[in-house]
Chain A
Amino acid sequence: MELIIQISYLLAAVLFILGLKQMSSPVTARRGIHWAGAGMVVATLVTFAAEEITGNEQAATNVMLIIIAIALGGGYAWYTGKRVAMTDMPQMIAMYNGMGGGAAAAIAAVELLKAQAAVQSGYASSVHDYLGADVAVLAILGAIIGTIAFSGSIVAWAKLDGRLNSSKLLPQQQLINLVLAVVLVILAINVYLSGSLNLIIAFFVLALVLGVFITVPVGGADMPVIISLFNALTGLAVGFEGYVLGNAAMIIAGTVVGSAGTLLTHLMAKAMNRSVSNVFFSGFGTGPAAAAAADVDGTQKEVQPQDAGIMMAYASQVIIIPGYGMAVAQAQHKIWELTQLLTEKGVKVKFAIHPVAGRMPGHMNVLLAEAGVPYDMIYDMEDINADFPNTTVTLVIGANDVVNPAAKKDPASPLYGMPTLNAEASQNVIVIKRGRGTGFSGVENSLFVADNTRMLFGDGQKVANELIQAVKEL
């Protein structure tokens, strides 16, 4: 039986890797998740036959408990996962990821409690004596990482879900975090050397607090990077606990996610022109640069939907730049309808997606796909930026910072250096915007007052509807 279990774990690990590989192309992506899912089912089922579970006195109770826990946890996740709106996807991923980190930490907690019980009964002298040095170190490391990923992800979820708006906790937060981290390491060493229950509890509580403290000051725009990083950390924690339990499937799958997630985090941060340490250790735009940033002079010029519709209907090429504002207004279906109308009139329509459009890279593609926009009409920034001068009308809907020319021109702007879409290079720009305020970063946008820019104020969905009517009436 042991051999069958081990081979099943190996099969699961192979299915995970092949599944992830297939998920890296839109054509095979769906098959990829199905393969990975099959691997998970196989691994879970064979585990019921594992000697650790069946081979002890309390097997009957524990198996019952396992089934109940899977039903409850899985049922909750199934229900929420099926219902969550596509716009809320990032925080849901954060939530599920946090659960994984918490599970890894809880595995470590069970191991540490077993060691503690052994120390108490005089069977072993310390945690490392009971578990062995290598297992003890990795169990404790996995506990720290998993716990921080758990509480941090919950905070990330709460912030993105609008349940927590504060970015400030205490003065000198960075210093406090540093002190807490040092104390946590000292506690961890003492847990390793002793077997005291109070130390173990203090250790977990402190790790929970640190996860919260690290995440709260992180600004909303940087959240995707944090979620991605916690995703990688959870993977790593799972890999470590896999070693603790001698489970190859966990080691392989956890480590693959750990390294893949690290690279993905780096790619995301790069797309936003932020470094990972930057995300953690500085609030966005709080440096001296923000104060010195040039004020934007000029007035925003309005246009009526009828006129905007005519401009687009007689254009040779229209590029649509959607942002998160479009998704919030649920305007993507209307925009797709407008696209179809324009295409019928012989206008070439393209969608330009900034790497961080939406709440995380690729999120906008998902939202457009939901509306039915085929992915071959959607262009990445590098592929479309040279195309803007040949474009009659660029329609910006709900996007702001990703089309801010200051990122290229103004070294004093906090956005300076971030790659942006060259909307300002097109012949005309129409911006659909709810009000006159600034974007997510709080930075003024000189594109909105440019000579070739016209503003369409109003709710995205309503304005898109008016544009559709205008084009239809022609």
Chain B
Amino acid sequence: MIEGLAALYIFLLAGFTGFEIISRVPVILHTPLMSGSNFVHGIVLVGAMIALGIAETTSQQVIGFIAVLLAAGNAVGGYVVTERMLEMFKTTGKQDKKGAHK
């Protein structure tokens, strides 16, 4: 369905997109962003599900099972830690509500 040149176009355009997204990131967000991009490649879960879906023999099923297991870990773990980190970013303005600052 996605073959040859069409895939090459997608690879190239997606590559430029990734480059463009990161190039204007302040240092303070490097860690959350790395974690966020780590979450995004958790999309491998979709492929792992298909790999297990097409498995016919037991050994294929075992490896497919491992694939889904690992991929789910990548996706869920990536989301949870990124969310936790980003949750903590506040401005001085928001601190005022607690009366903690100024």
Are A343 and B7 closer than 8 Å at their CB atoms? no
Distance of A23 Cα from B60 Cα, bound (Å): 38
Distance of A42 Cα from B53 Cα, bound (Å): 18
Residues from 10 to 36 in A contacting B, C-beta threshold 8 Å:
12, 16-17, 19-21, 23-26, 29-30, 32-34, 36
Distance of A377 Cα from B11 Cα, bound (Å): 40
Contacts of A106 in B (CB 8 A): 48, 51, 63-64, 66-67, 70
By size class, the interface of chain B is 35 or more
Q: Which residue of chain B lies nearest to A241 when distances are taken between CB atoms in the complex?
A: B47
> Known interface pairs A96-B81, A264-B30. Does A73 touch B76 (Cβ–Cβ under 8 Å)?
yes
A285 to chain B, nearest CB (A): 24
Are B72 and A77 closer than 8 Å at their CB atoms? yes
Are A99 and B73 closer than 8 Å at their CB atoms? yes
Contacts of B95 in A (CB 8 A): 372, 374
Convert B82-102 into 0s and 1s, putting 1 for each residue whose CB lies closer than 8 angstroms to a CB of A: 111111111111110000111
Are B71 and A103 closer than 8 Å at their CB atoms? yes
> Known interface pairs A107-B67, A258-B15, A263-B18. Does A16 touch B40 (Cβ–Cβ under 8 Å)?
yes
Are B84 and A82 closer than 8 Å at their CB atoms? yes
Contacts of B83 in A (CB 8 A): 30, 33-34, 37
Are B50 and A113 closer than 8 Å at their CB atoms? no
Convert A37-66 into 0s and 1s, putting 1 for each residue whose CB lies closer than 8 angstroms to a CB of B: 100100110011010111010110111011
Q: Which residue of chain B lies nearest to A363 when distances are taken between CB atoms in the complex?
A: B31
Contacts of B15 in A (CB 8 A): 255-256, 258-259
A333 to chain B, nearest CB (A): 12
Which among A85-93, A321-329, A422-430, A453-461 touches the partner chain? A85-93
Are A242 and B47 closer than 8 Å at their CB atoms? yes
User: A residues within 8 Å of B by Cβ?
Assistant: 9, 12, 16-17, 19-21, 23-26, 29-30, 32-34, 36-37, 40, 43-44, 47-48, 50, 52-54, 56, 58-59, 61-63, 65-66, 68-78, 80-82, 84, 86, 89-90, 92-93, 95-97, 99-100, 102-104, 106-107, 109-111, 113-114, 117, 134, 227-228, 231, 234-235, 238-239, 241-243, 245-261, 263-264, 267-268, 271, 340, 343, 353, 355, 358, 360-363, 365-366, 369-370, 372, 374-378, 380
Report 30 cross-chain contacts, Cβ distance below 8 Å, ordered by A residue.
A19-B40, A24-B29, A29-B32, A33-B86, A40-B79, A43-B46, A89-B35, A93-B38, A97-B74, A99-B71, A99-B73, A100-B71, A107-B67, A113-B59, A113-B60, A231-B41, A238-B47, A239-B14, A250-B47, A251-B10, A252-B10, A256-B14, A256-B17, A257-B41, A260-B22, A263-B23, A353-B28, A366-B31, A366-B85, A374-B101
User: B residues within 8 Å of A by Cβ?
Assistant: 1-4, 7, 10-11, 14-19, 21-57, 59-61, 63-95, 100-102
